[in-house]
Structure 1
């Protein structure tokens, strides 16, 4: 269990602390704080040096494909200092997240693993397809389409709220997490778009660093 050292310094640090609290037991992926068998790590070729985001989950895909298992142990492992105190930092980190989802789906989405394919499709549906559809049908539905879009987003946020509550967090934290899950789809769409634009024009990506962002 990675914990955010200064979770009370900002809502963004609190969101990180919630994110680190993944379910205990067998998992699909781990984060950067982990222990791996050296032989298993070497057997799959280690980390992919071309990735700028999502490198641990991508490694875990190959570890599991080679017959390995990823386990989340119910014990503290490390303290993390996100240093996120501004909205711009959170936005940039979410852009990086969207980019990582896109690259993961590009590499392993067509395999039986279907790595991050669902997450990537969800980003496009919620932040682009549904808003465009609501706008396109605004006049025929006399504005009802916008209300339906709002209700759909609220329901999505409520599902995130219930999940966060089930992980032992309080109502205030769960509400914040649910709201930011809704808003986060938009910077994630930016990250997804950046990945495919770089692929289209065959450009080299650069690392996205949120700690120095404004």
Structure 2
């Protein structure tokens, strides 16, 4: 692909979870890695990158603690390069998530990446991560605050706003069904996608607090030993 297409900078294939049936969290990772085939906006860490393109954008941004590959792909595409997802098996990866707390930490890290992406490129024409970031704020903070915080004052009427969560879940379920997921996988993905918004908003808040306080960002690791 790279040899025959000089405008392509990065190619990547299908990453598989080694043990998808070990835990629901491993299964979620495997579903997440099932990305569309063809020209893409970004790649993951297991990719082949053209040296010339990598040198042109001066490699990865070493100030980031996560989301390095998508950020680099933005700069590559800004230089006219293309990113391509192959319809081929590429790597096997063990997410090794056996506890809910690990998955939760991974979602917090995802929220951090969303917030940092918005801060860096949200106001560009691409509006990078703006949709995901706004969705986190709406579903992970604003809606539950209004629904629960004003419930007493509205005699419970604002609680009807919580109906939005099953509606959102149904929409996600329908989308994942079109991706080839089984009904059980689609339900799993939809449920944790909604639940993950609460962790992601924590990650976004963590990013902005760290930035405003002038602190140094530290890794948000989900594979280290944890309790819970």
TM-score, length of structure 1 as denominator length:
0.96
On the 8 A contact 2:143/2:161 being kept in 1, the answer is no
Structure 1 runs, 4 residues or longer, greater than 4 Å off: none
On the 8 A contact 1:95/1:187 being kept in 2, the answer is yes
Task: Tell me the distance in 2 between the aligned counterparts of 1:56 and 1:136.
Answer: 39
Q: Which structure dedicates a bigger proportion of its chain to strand?
A: 2
How far off is 1:161 after superposition? Answer: 1.1
Corresponding residue to 1:162 among 174, 177, 199: 174
* Residue 111 (structure 2) aligns with: 98
Matched residues, number: 213
Which 5+ residue runs of structure 2 have no aligned equivalent?
1-13
* Residue 94 (structure 2) aligns with: 81
Report SS of the residue matched to 1:29: coil
* Residue 35 (structure 1) aligns with: 48
Q: Which structure dedicates a bigger proportion of its chain to helix?
A: 1
Report SS of the residue matched to 1:89: helix
* 1:20-70 Cα distance to aligned partner (Å, 9 max, x none): 001111111111111111101110111000000111100010011110111
Corresponding residue to 2:32 among 19, 35, 38: 19
Is 1:68 aligned to 2:81, yes or no?
yes
Corresponding residue to 2:202 among 190, 208, 214: 190
Which 5+ residue runs of structure 1 have no aligned equivalent?
none
On the 8 A contact 1:26/1:72 being kept in 2, the answer is yes
On the 8 A contact 2:107/2:196 being kept in 1, the answer is yes
How far off is 1:112 after superposition? Answer: 1.2
Task: Tell me the distance in 2 between the aligned counterparts of 1:114 and 1:39.
Answer: 27
